[in-house]
Structure 1
Amino acid sequence: MTPESWADRRYREAAERGEFDNLPGQGKPIPGLGQRQDENWWIKGLMEREDIAMPLPESLALRKEVGEISQTLADVRTEEVARRIITDLNERIARSHRRRLDGPPIHINLLDVEATLDQWRSSR
């Protein structure tokens, strides 16, 4: 038996069992068919389907982390772990000051560790 006839038989048997009935999108046109695709169409589609956020350049990602530090620390149980998270972020910010990052040039101030910990304590 040739591979094509084997595949054709498997398809026919599956169709007879009704395995292709009521599939999502059945009877609807294929989205984007006939339209010109850009070279990254597949990654954009994956990110949309999987609800993946667009990755930010490092400079913007650091600024976002600083802005979201309260949410980051919200579930932290101990002051030691909170201090370690803040210190790690400050070290990455300090490294960013010493070298050129990808993305727009943004100056990000270091976090005041004690003030940030005070906010963390008061939110608990």
Structure 2
Amino acid sequence: MARPDDHATPDPSVAAARYRLARGSGAGPAAARGGLTGVAGGGATTGGDADERPRPTADQLRSIAKTSLDLAIERGEFDHLPLAGKPLPGLTGTHDPDWWIKAKIEREGLTGVAPPALSLRTENEQLDDLLDTMATESSVRATVAGFNDRVVEARRQLTGGPPVVTPTRDPDVEVIRWQERRDARRAEAARQAAALVAAQPRTWRERRAARAAARASRRRPS
């Protein structure tokens, strides 16, 4: 007795693609119904039929692949991919030889496993932000000295891995840059404070006039 699954109706889109494939190759209706499932499903075929069946052309294979992709899109199989709606990484036009290490560390949230060449490069990119959080010149110099020691030590290692290309930092230069960034932040904060004070009325007559203008604007019909 045949089971219900044995007579399950195939997807009409896939069946249509198989029909076009069989019709283009000159096979009859039976081949169109069987399509490419004779070998995959383990069905019995004669040696002559297998030898005489023409191979699908590139256009026919593209048609079947496009139909399968359309069906997968309709089922929502591509709706929740990790990079859905985002630009693909690595398309900036520059080649980073350590891209696969960075991608694996970021993807799996790994810590403490990056080679020195990569970890020092990342630390170098974030060093300015770290120095900006410090309040004294001595702490800036100590941080830069510790960074330079790690760079020099990594260059002496002979354990393999990518070469260390991160340069050391001049403490005197970094102190000057740290002071310039600090002065720029202070000047910007002072400018914003002055603009805020200037926007407010300074005398009681100006404050009264501002309140009267505000009341009048609220009573004014829209």
Shift of 1:53: 5.4
Distance in 2, matches of 1:117 and 1:100, equals 32
Counterpart for residue 70 of structure 1: 128
Shift of 1:106: 2.7
Counterpart for residue 98 of structure 1: 156
Shift of 1:82: 0.8
Shift of 1:107: 2.0
Gaps of 5+ in 1: 1-43
Q: How has the CA–CA distance of structure 1 residues 76 and 98 changed in structure 2, closer, same or farther, with 3 Å as cutoff?
A: same
SS at match of 1:118: helix
The amino acid across from 1:57 in the alignment is P
Q: How has the CA–CA distance of structure 1 residues 121 and 101 changed in structure 2, closer, same or farther, with 3 Å as cutoff?
A: farther
Distance in 2, matches of 1:108 and 1:101, equals 17
Q: Is the 8 A contact 1:57 1:102 kept in 2?
A: no
Matches within 5 A, 1:1-124: 52=109, 55-100=113-158, 103-124=161-182
Counterpart for residue 44 of structure 2: none
Shift of 1:102: 5.8
SS at match of 1:68: helix
**TM-score, structure 2 length as denominator?**
0.31
Shift of 1:98: 1.4
Shift of 1:103: 3.7
Distance in 2, matches of 1:109 and 1:102, equals 19
Matched residue count: 76
Q: How has the CA–CA distance of structure 1 residues 85 and 76 changed in structure 2, closer, same or farther, with 3 Å as cutoff?
A: same
Q: How has the CA–CA distance of structure 1 residues 88 and 122 changed in structure 2, closer, same or farther, with 3 Å as cutoff?
A: same
Gaps of 5+ in 2: 1-103, 183-222
Shift of 1:105: 1.5
Distance in 2, matches of 1:62 and 1:122, equals 24
The amino acid across from 1:70 in the alignment is D
Q: How has the CA–CA distance of structure 1 residues 101 and 92 changed in structure 2, closer, same or farther, with 3 Å as cutoff?
A: farther
RMSD of equivalent CA atoms? 2.3
Q: How has the CA–CA distance of structure 1 residues 101 and 116 changed in structure 2, closer, same or farther, with 3 Å as cutoff?
A: farther
Q: How has the CA–CA distance of structure 1 residues 102 and 120 changed in structure 2, closer, same or farther, with 3 Å as cutoff?
A: farther
Of all paired residues, the percent bearing the same amino acid is: 26
Q: How has the CA–CA distance of structure 1 residues 101 and 91 changed in structure 2, closer, same or farther, with 3 Å as cutoff?
A: farther
**TM-score, structure 1 length as denominator?**
0.53
SS at match of 1:63: helix
* Bigger Cα Rg: 2
Distance in 2, matches of 1:101 and 1:58, equals 10
